[in-house]
Structure 1
Amino acid sequence: MSFFLIIFFLVYGAFHLYGFVKVRAAFSPGALAGACLAAFMIMMVLAPVAIRLSERAGAEGFARFMSYVGYTWMGALLIFVCTSIIIDVLRLALYGLAFVLEQDWSSLVSAHKYFLLTSLAVSLAVVGYGYHEAGRIRMERVVIRTDKIPASPGKLRIVQISDVHIGLIVRKGRLEKIAKEIRKAEPDILVSTGDLVDGQLDSVEALSGLLRAIDPPFGKFAVTGNHEYYAGLPRAIRFTEKAGFRVLRNESMTIPGVITIVGIDDAVGRNSSRDGGIDEKGLLVEGEGKVFTLLLKHRPVVNQGAAGLFDLQLSGHTHKGQIFPFGFIVKLFFPALSGYYDLPGGSCLYVNRGVGTWGPPVRFLAPPEVTLIELVRKR
Structure 2
Amino acid sequence: MTELPHIKSNSGRYALMKQKYSNKNKGRVSVVSSFIFFSFIIPLAFGYAVWRPMTLLWTLTVKQSNHIFWMSSCCCWILFNVKVFEELIYSRKLLLVSNIVLDICMIPTTILPFALSYDIFQIMYKLIFGHPLLFKTKKIWGFCILTISFILNNIGFYRGTHISTTHYTIKTKKLKHSKIRIAHISDIHIGSRLDKLPQKMVNKIIEENPDLVVITGDLIDSHNVISTDLSSFSAFKERNIPIYYTIGNHDIMAGEEYVSSILQYYGIIYLKNQVTQIVIGDEIIQLVGIDDVQSVTKYNEIFDSITSSIHNNIYTILLHHRPQGYKTSVQSGQIDLQLAGHTHDGQVFPFNYIVPLFHSKSYGMYHIKDSSNELVLYTHPGSCAWGPHFRTAAKNLITIFSIESSN
TM-score, scaled to structure 1: 0.85
Q: Give distance in 1, aligned partners of 2:140 and 2:292.
A: 46
User: Tell me, what secondary structure is at the counterpart of 2:244?
Assistant: strand
1:86 and 2:117 are equivalent in the alignment: yes
1:42 deviates by: 2.7
CA contact (8 A) 2:321 2:341 kept: yes
Deviation per CA, 1:177-218: give whole Å up to 9, x if none.
01111101111111110000121344x311333212214767
Q: Give distance in 2, aligned partners of 1:189 and 1:7.
A: 45
Structure 1's 168 and 312: CA in aligned 2 closer, same or farther, altered over 3 A? closer
Correspondent of 2:149 among 120, 123, 130: 123
Q: Give distance in 2, aligned partners of 1:359 and 1:106.
A: 37
Counterpart residue number, 1:296: 319
Q: Give distance in 1, aligned partners of 2:358 and 2:36.
A: 15
User: Tell me, what secondary structure is at the counterpart of 2:182?
Assistant: strand
User: Tell me, what secondary structure is at the counterpart of 1:306?
Assistant: helix
Structure 1's 231 and 46: CA in aligned 2 closer, same or farther, altered over 3 A? farther
Q: What residue ranges of structure 2 are gaps of 5+ in the alignment?
A: 1-16, 21-29
* Identity over aligned pairs, percent: 23
User: Tell me, what secondary structure is at the counterpart of 1:67?
Assistant: helix
Q: Give distance in 2, aligned partners of 1:34 and 1:97.
A: 29
Farther off after superposition, 82-91 or 123-132: 82-91
Matches within 5 A, 1:116-155: 116-151=142-177, 154-155=178-179
Structure 1's 146 and 276: CA in aligned 2 closer, same or farther, altered over 3 A? closer
Correspondent of 1:326 among 329, 351, 356: 351
Correspondent of 1:15 among 34, 45, 53: 45
CA contact (8 A) 1:170 1:356 kept: no
1:248 and 2:271 are equivalent in the alignment: yes
CA contact (8 A) 2:366 2:378 kept: yes
Q: Give distance in 1, aligned partners of 2:137 and 2:346.
A: 32
Correspondent of 2:184 among 160, 168, 172: 160
1:316 and 2:336 are equivalent in the alignment: no
CA contact (8 A) 1:229 1:269 kept: no
Q: What residue ranges of structure 1 are gaps of 5+ in the alignment?
A: none
Correspondent of 1:261 among 287, 290, 297: 287
Q: CA RMSD in A?
A: 3.1
Letter in structure 2 aligned against 1:302: G
Structure 1's 125 and 240: CA in aligned 2 closer, same or farther, altered over 3 A? same
Matches within 5 A, 1:32-181: 34-35=66-67, 37-54=69-86, 56=89, 58=91, 60=93, 63-68=95-100, 70-92=101-123, 94-95=125-126, 98=129, 106-107=133-134, 111-151=137-177, 154-171=178-195, 173-181=196-204
Counterpart residue number, 2:213: 190
Q: Give distance in 1, aligned partners of 2:400 and 2:339.
A: 11
Q: Give distance in 2, aligned partners of 1:278 and 1:46.
A: 43
Letter in structure 2 aligned against 1:366: A
CA contact (8 A) 1:296 1:314 kept: yes
Deviation per CA, 1:117-150: give whole Å up to 9, x if none.
3212211221122111112211111111001123
1:72 deviates by: 2.3
Q: Give distance in 2, aligned partners of 1:8 and 1:168.
A: 21
TM-score, scaled to structure 2: 0.79
1:333 deviates by: 0.8
Letter in structure 2 aligned against 1:169: R
User: Tell me, what secondary structure is at the counterpart of 1:15?
Assistant: helix
Q: Give distance in 2, aligned partners of 1:301 and 1:360.
A: 26
1:263 deviates by: 0.6
Matches within 5 A, 1:218-237: 219-237=242-260
1:21 deviates by: 6.1
Q: How many residues align?
A: 365
1:335 and 2:357 are equivalent in the alignment: no
Letter in structure 2 aligned against 1:15: A
CA contact (8 A) 1:159 1:189 kept: yes
